[in-house]
């Protein structure tokens, strides 16, 4: 196991040194990357949560809930998932910069907020989709996240009356094959992998790393320990936005 660094300034220096030495970097990120931008993790119930919603977040964001209780689904979705005022943080911005320099080849993310693209990243594999894309289930007309936010109840298509579904992978739904393949290829061809803001316990995404990563160096940026810590060369146990402040 590599060394664990708690001090953010030191973590940033060590991370920069590893990136400078690498040929090809991939970043694999989770909710912690977004919480650093002030987006709440919808899986972490707040005090008011139980008064407001009938079921646990895993059910509220499930395909079953979407089908059987669409009003409740969209109440939860607007209240807990959509956070359209959030801005990219230093981690998003540095990753976009590293890609522009030709150092970073891909971002793989479990987040659905589109903040990597907002920061300027081009090659982003969104394992769980994006709130920024929404399609009518009947005619395929696309709608913005703002449009969905501003509708009431179940959003219905202005052209045909069909239900508009966010392009987000709900619980019980499978991941997109092209996205999975692209993510697997990126993992298989990098020499430095940085895993950030995720405890890597959400499957099937969590299985991707051990299955495909064959590079020489693994960095983990996460406040909590993860199952991959034993094989990491460097563990930055600090705020991820600060770890990328170099
Ligand atoms: Zn339609």
pLDDT at residue 228, as a whole number: 84
pLDDT at residue 50, as a whole number: 59
pLDDT at residue 49, as a whole number: 59
Give the distance, in angstroms, between the CA of residue 54 and the centroid of all CA atoms in the same chain.
Answer: 26
Average pLDDT over residues 102-129: 96
**Ligand 1 centroid to 80 CA: how many Å?**
26
Banded pLDDT at 134 (limits 50, 70, 90) = very high
Q: Residue 168 forms beta bridges with which residues?
A: 129
239 phi and psi angles, rounded to 5 deg: -55, 125
Banded pLDDT at 199 (limits 50, 70, 90) = confident
Strands (E), 10-50: 25-29
Is the pLDDT score of 1 beyond 80? no
Q: What is the dihedral of CA 82, 207, 64, 47, to 10 degrees?
A: -50
Average pLDDT over residues 156-171: 97
Is the pLDDT score of 8 beyond 60? yes
pLDDT at residue 218, as a whole number: 96
The CATH number of residue 74's host domain is 3.40.50.1220
**Ligand 1 centroid to 138 CA: how many Å?**
5
DSSP SS3 for 2:
coil
With a pLDDT cut of 90, the percent of the chain lying above it is 78
The residue segments making up the domain with residue 232 are 3-243
Instruction: For residue 116, indicate whether it is catalytic.
Output: no
CA distance 86 to 93: 14
Mean pLDDT over the full length of the chain = 93
221: nearest Cα among 190, 199, 192, 246: 199
Structure tokens at 135: 């399609």
Q: How many domains are contained in the chain? A: 1
Average pLDDT over residues 77-86: 91
pLDDT tens sequence across 172-198 = 999 999 999 999 999 999 999 999 999
**H/E element holding 149?**
helix 145-150
Residue 203 CB partners (closer than 8 Å, separation 6+): none
**Ligand 1 centroid to 131 CA: how many Å?**
18
Which of 69, 92, 116, 128 is labelled catalytic? 128
The pTM of the full predicted model, rounded to 2 decimals, is 0.94
**Ligand 1 centroid to 71 CA: how many Å?**
18
DSSP classification of residue 175 = P
**Ligand 1 centroid to 117 CA: how many Å?**
27
Structure tokens at 246: 């170099």
**Ligand 1 centroid to 116 CA: how many Å?**
29
Mean pLDDT lowest among 1-10, 106-115, 125-134, 135-144: 1-10
């Amino acid at each position: 196991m590599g060394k664990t660094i708690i001090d953010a300034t030191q973590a940033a220096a060590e991370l920069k040194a590893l990136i400078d030495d690498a040929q090809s970097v991939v970043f694999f990120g989770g909710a912690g990357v977004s919480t650093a931008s002030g987006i709440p993790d919808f899986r972490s119930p707040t005090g008011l949560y139980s008064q407001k919603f009938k079921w646990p977040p895993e059910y509220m964001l499930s395909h079953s809930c979407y089908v059987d209780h669409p009003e409740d689904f969209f109440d939860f979705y607007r209240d807990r998932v959509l956070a359209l005022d959030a801005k990219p943080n230093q981690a998003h911005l540095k990753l976009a910069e590293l890609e522009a320099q030709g150092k970073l080849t891909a971002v793989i993310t479990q987040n659905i907020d589109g903040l990597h693209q907002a920061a300027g990243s081009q090659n982003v594999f969104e394992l769980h989709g994006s709130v920024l894309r929404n399609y009518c289930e009947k005619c395929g007309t696309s709608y913005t996240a703002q449009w969905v936010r501003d509708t009431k109840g179940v959003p219905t298509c202005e052209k045909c009356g069909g239900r508009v579904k966010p392009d987000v992978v709900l619980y019980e739904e499978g991941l997109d094959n092209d996205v999975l393949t692209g993510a697997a290829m990126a993992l298989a061809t990098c020499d430095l992998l940085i895993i950030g803001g995720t405890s890597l316990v959400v499957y099937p995404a969590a299985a991707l790393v051990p299955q495909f990563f064959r590079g020489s160096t693994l960095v983990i940026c996460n406040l909590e320990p993860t199952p991959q810590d034993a094989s990491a060369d460097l563990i930055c146990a600090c705020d991820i936005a600060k770890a990328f402040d170099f």
